[in-house]
Structure 1
Amino acid sequence: MRRRTLSALCTLGALGGVLAAPTAAQAADPHPAGPSVRTDETRIYVDFGTRTLPKDLKVLLRKTGTDTPVATIDEFGFLEDMDPCMPSCQDDPGETAVETTPLRLADLGRYAVDVEYDGTEGETILHKDEAIFDYHLIPQVKTFEVSGKPDLEHRTVTVKADATLRDPRDGAETPMANGRLVLETTATKTGLTTDAAGHVETPFTFTGTEKHDTTTRQNDVRMVLRPAGANAAHGLTRQVEVGYTTTDITLDSPTVRGADGTDAPLTGRATYRDSNGVSKPVPVGTPMSVYTVRTFKTGEDGRFTTQVPVDGTRRQTIALLGTPWLSNSYAYVSSDPTTSAGFHRLPTVTVSRYKKVSVSGVFDRYDLPAYTTLKVNLQFKAKGTTTWVTKKTIDSPAMAGDSSRTVTAADLPYQGVGVWRFQFPGTKQIPAGPAPESYTVYRQMTAFPEFNANPEPVKAGAPLTITGKLNTKNEDNGQWSAFAGARIDIYFRAKGTTTWRGAGVAVTGNDGKFTKTFTAAKDGDWQAKYEGDEWSHFYSYSRLDFVDVQ
């Protein structure tokens, strides 16, 4: 954890040479949280989160465990802003961190980093122990060569390299004698040791499962050689082109069998063809997949074992995922469900403008021993929840053997935003299969927050103006807003009657408001209705407004 101390140096007063410490009201640290400080092998970086730096900024270095600074740095440069549109092109403050030049100190070792600058009244602000600067000899791989063009039959190449140690005090380089290097590919990591001259020359054998180097358009794999404990920037990278061969997948059985919606074991063997056309096992760890479902890897002798989902009678694809060494290859396995029942296709759900829901789905049954009736639950899960609620249970007759039947539920009350599914819960004799959920289903609510017939009362033959407003609800954020361009039907019911008749039509403006003027004739109720649309909005109606015609 960083420790910060704040010290204010006394200043000599202007009157009579009196020493006076600035009070809290007079002086303050312009950056009380302190800077963020980091280091690399030769530089120190200071960031106050702003491009306005404090006055008289200095970085002080102390040997760890001592109190006396051995170096003071007061020259800095702003780092280049590598992403001028983060967080956005309008709000990007630019790079706020500053850096020192590469430091040339007298001695190697570990140094404590302090940051000093002027406070608001010119007092000295000191933040101690903001970081540790490790000043050491810098390892570097200077040369790196790979000899040979490997393929699966000949995976061994020769690696040659030289490594040095650079002294940051003067830039001098010396061989990294008996130094530890790390050779990495996407499949393995190997330690190497240099000789007294900083040189290494050794064979290296690929596993045959390395991935493509996507930075090139050739059939390459990437090799990185770096000093142990250092990142790739201290090393060198080489792309090695490898040989390519075709593959085959042989399944022990072309069919898997199990209850619908369960996993069934599948075994087989993956091979490649050598230059003489002879089939040989692919390397251990070669990537494979049950297509789009799960991945797995080959074992010894190219053998593999995986689990294949029984999804009705749907065929599954087994894939050998191509590598620089091996071609893509595919095999197909059929599913044969045992006694079970379930749904494989997404249910179809419609929501009418009158807030009624209809759901249908295809119910598949397999290997049933005899005619029976199966109970199916229609369930709903509201947006933002994980709980399925059964809204209806439906009887579905099923014949012996395999069969399919469409299950339908109609005119259910709208439940809000959410998903629907049909679910067969299973019985002791008939296990349950899949129960996929629908896409999210919803329509937008509409409402009349305003409706008025004016004036009231009104003289017979005088103008009567109907005004109102229609709003719609955004189901994502729950906010209501004006609904523009909606057709509004205006109805009238004369006093003493039960029959409504259409009086006229209005259209909402951009503010959701509408106006329609009539000639007053009879006492009665006025009401506005919005009939909804084909897909998006529910119907709604306004309050009643009674008008007395005199």
Structure 2
Amino acid sequence: MRRRTLSALCTLGALGGVLAVPTAAHAADPYPNGPSIHTDDTRIYVDFGKPLPPKNLKLLLRKTGTDTPVAAVTEFAQMQDTDPCDPSCEDDPGETAVVTSPLRLADLGRYAVDVQYDGTEGETILHKDEAVFDYHLIPRVKTFEVSGKPDLEHRTVTVKADATLRDPRDDSETPMANGRLVLETTAAKTGLNTDAAGHVETPFTFTGTEKHDTTTWQNDVRVVLRPAGADAAHGLTRRVEVGYTTTDITLDSSTVRGADGTDAPLTGRATYRDSNGVSKPVPAGTPMSVYNVRTFKTGEDGRFTTQVPVYGTRRQTIALLGTPWLSNTYAYVTPDPTTSAGFHRVPTVTVSRYKKVTVSGIFDRYDLPAATTLKVNLQFKARGTTTWVTKKTIDSPAFAGDSSRTVTAADLPYPGVGVWRFQYPGTQQIPAGPAPESYTVYRRMTAFPEFNANPEPVKAGAPITITGKLNAKNEDNGQWSALANARIDIYFRAKGTTTWRGAGVAVTGNDGRFTKTFTAAKDGDWQAKYDGDEWTHFYAYSRLDFVDVQ
């Protein structure tokens, strides 16, 4: 992280005791909760949540368990904002933390950190024990080599490394004598010990289940060597190229049996071919999967046991997930459902412009012992809820053995935004299978908030003007807005009759408004109708407006 370079001023020695804090200071403290502080090996980071720190900011360091500060830090560097568009380019407050330069203290040890600054009236504010700064010898791995190109037949390499301890007081280094290191891969961690010279040279054996190092295009794995108790930044990383071989999956059976919608056990064995073409078990812990459903790992001798979903007769894929050591391999298993019934396809749902719903789905039945009639529930779940409500129950005849039949429910009232499903509840003799839900289904409501026929009354033969506005509802936020470019049919019904006749057509503008002028002839009612469209909007009728023609 780049930042401006500023020195940190440390005053060593006793500073005359703890600074007094006025009684009223807390009332005028601009940061009553104090700052957020974190540390690394040599620096202290202070964050008040604002781009500029308080006036006269100072850090006082005390040996833990004592009351007398032994150092004060008064100068800081502003951290640079590395992502000026987080959370957004408009709302990013910029970097709010400041940091000290690497500290040079007289003694190693643990220091309590007190934070001091000026209050709103210039009084001294003091927050004690805001953090603990651990000032210690800094372990580092200075050199690290991995010799050898391993493969599954030869997984052992030689590791050589040197580790040191850096003294932050003067940056001097000494060997990490008899120190503890950690060798880490994606599969395992191994402890190593240095000798009196801080050196280690030892064999290391890979498990054969390490993952690819995705930062390169090579067939390699990543190995990290770091001091025990320290993060990877104190160590070194090496990438080791490994040998690659082909694999096979042998299933104990290519079919599984179970009720529709349940899981059935599957066993098998995964192997690889050595340089002589001989099949050998993959390492224990090799990752595998029932494709897009679940993952599992091999056990000893390459054996595995997993659960395969019975989803009708849909074929399931068993995959050995490729590693640097092993190729991708696939095997296929076909479920054979026992006596059961269910739905496997997402139901088809249409909503007409006249607020009628039609739902259709394919009902699959397996191994039925005799012809029967199965009851199917058509259910709806409103958006924002978790409750399924049964809207209709349908009888579906079924033959003995296996069969499929389309189930349809038509002309149901539109209940609002939500999802639909067909659900066979099952019986003791015929268990229930899956009941997938539809995609979210809705149309937009429309309405005429304004409609008028003017003037009223009107003389026969004079013009009469029909005006109005059409709105549509946004189902996501519930807001109504103008519906533009909509065809509006205008109807007239003469007084004393029951027959409506089409009088003319208007089209809404961008503001949802429309206008149409006619010649007044008879007393009667005027009304506007929007007939909806093919997929998106429902129909709507305006109010009736009676006009007296004189």
User: Which TM-score bucket, shorter chain as reference?
Assistant: over 0.9
After the TM superposition, which segments of 4 or more aligned residues of structure 1 sit over 3 Å from their partners?
A: 5-9, 21-24
Normalising by structure 2, what TM-score? Answer: 0.95
Q: How does 1:350-389 map to 2 (within 5 A)?
A: 350-389=350-389
Distance in 1 (CA, whole Å) between partners of 2:95 and 2:418 is 45
Match of 1:169 in 2: 169
8 Å contact from structure 1 (residues 6, 127) kept in 2: no
Question: SS in structure 1 opposite 2:301?
Answer: helix
Q: How does 1:339-488 map to 2 (within 5 A)?
A: 339-488=339-488
Structure 1 residues 141 and 531: CA distance shift in structure 2, 3 A: same
Asked whether 1:79 is paired with 2:47, we answer no
Q: How does 1:86-101 map to 2 (within 5 A)?
A: 86-101=86-101
Shift of 1:47: 1.4
Distance in 2 (CA, whole Å) between partners of 1:91 and 1:385 is 33
Match of 1:225 in 2: 225
Letter aligned with residue 176 of structure 1: M
Distance in 2 (CA, whole Å) between partners of 1:326 and 1:94 is 47
Distance in 2 (CA, whole Å) between partners of 1:119 and 1:304 is 67
Distance in 2 (CA, whole Å) between partners of 1:330 and 1:204 is 31
Shift of 1:122: 2.2
* 1:111-138: CA deviation from partner (whole Å, max 9, x where unpaired): 1111212223322222221111111110
* 1:260-311: CA deviation from partner (whole Å, max 9, x where unpaired): 1111111110000000000000000111111111111111100111111111
Shift of 1:8: 4.4
Question: SS in structure 1 opposite 2:87?
Answer: coil
Match of 1:549 in 2: 549
* 1:230-263: CA deviation from partner (whole Å, max 9, x where unpaired): 1100000000000000000001111111111111
Q: How does 1:108-507 map to 2 (within 5 A)?
A: 108-507=108-507
Question: SS in structure 2 opposite 1:336?
Answer: strand
Shift of 1:54: 2.1
Question: Which one is further off, 232-241 or 460-469?
Answer: 460-469
Distance in 1 (CA, whole Å) between partners of 2:117 and 2:409 is 75
Shift of 1:52: 2.6
8 Å contact from structure 2 (residues 25, 125) kept in 1: no
8 Å contact from structure 2 (residues 75, 100) kept in 1: yes
Gaps of 5+ in 2: 1-17
Match of 2:10 in 1: none
8 Å contact from structure 1 (residues 525, 544) kept in 2: yes
Number of aligned residues: 533
Question: SS in structure 1 opposite 2:514?
Answer: strand
Structure 1 residues 527 and 7: CA distance shift in structure 2, 3 A: farther
Distance in 1 (CA, whole Å) between partners of 2:269 and 2:21 is 76
Distance in 1 (CA, whole Å) between partners of 2:464 and 2:273 is 91
Question: SS in structure 1 opposite 2:86?
Answer: coil
Shift of 1:335: 1.2
* 1:381-401: CA deviation from partner (whole Å, max 9, x where unpaired): 111111111111111111111
Letter aligned with residue 84 of structure 1: P
Gaps of 5+ in 1: 10-20
Letter aligned with residue 540 of structure 1: A
Distance in 1 (CA, whole Å) between partners of 2:499 and 2:415 is 32
Question: Which one is further off, 46-55 or 536-545?
Answer: 46-55
Q: How does 1:21-32 map to 2 (within 5 A)?
A: 28-32=28-32
8 Å contact from structure 1 (residues 489, 530) kept in 2: yes
Distance in 1 (CA, whole Å) between partners of 2:519 and 2:300 is 92
Distance in 1 (CA, whole Å) between partners of 2:25 and 2:71 is 31
* 1:154-194: CA deviation from partner (whole Å, max 9, x where unpaired): 00111111111100000000111111111110000111111
Distance in 2 (CA, whole Å) between partners of 1:385 and 1:96 is 41
Match of 1:533 in 2: 533
Shift of 1:22: 7.9
Letter aligned with residue 288 of structure 1: M
Distance in 1 (CA, whole Å) between partners of 2:335 and 2:24 is 84
Structure 1 residues 357 and 7: CA distance shift in structure 2, 3 A: farther
8 Å contact from structure 2 (residues 25, 119) kept in 1: no
8 Å contact from structure 1 (residues 6, 125) kept in 2: no
Letter aligned with residue 155 of structure 1: R
Match of 1:54 in 2: 54
Distance in 1 (CA, whole Å) between partners of 2:455 and 2:297 is 81
Shift of 1:7: 5.7
Question: SS in structure 2 opposite 1:510?
Answer: coil
Question: SS in structure 2 opposite 1:517?
Answer: strand
Q: Percent identity?
A: 87
8 Å contact from structure 2 (residues 51, 95) kept in 1: yes
Letter aligned with residue 458 of structure 2: V
Question: Which one is further off, 105-114 or 61-70?
Answer: 61-70
Question: SS in structure 2 opposite 1:187?
Answer: coil
Question: SS in structure 2 opposite 1:450?
Answer: strand
Match of 1:67 in 2: 67
Distance in 2 (CA, whole Å) between partners of 1:476 and 1:498 is 39
Match of 1:522 in 2: 522
Normalising by structure 1, what TM-score? Answer: 0.95
* 1:384-439: CA deviation from partner (whole Å, max 9, x where unpaired): 11111111111111111111111111111111111111111112211111111111
Question: SS in structure 2 opposite 1:301?
Answer: helix
8 Å contact from structure 2 (residues 350, 359) kept in 1: yes
8 Å contact from structure 1 (residues 343, 362) kept in 2: yes
8 Å contact from structure 2 (residues 448, 468) kept in 1: yes
Distance in 1 (CA, whole Å) between partners of 2:158 and 2:101 is 40
8 Å contact from structure 2 (residues 462, 519) kept in 1: yes
Distance in 2 (CA, whole Å) between partners of 1:189 and 1:279 is 29
Match of 1:16 in 2: none
Match of 2:45 in 1: 45
Distance in 2 (CA, whole Å) between partners of 1:6 and 1:524 is 92
8 Å contact from structure 2 (residues 159, 202) kept in 1: yes
* 1:57-94: CA deviation from partner (whole Å, max 9, x where unpaired): 21111111222211111111111111111121122222
Distance in 1 (CA, whole Å) between partners of 2:310 and 2:257 is 7
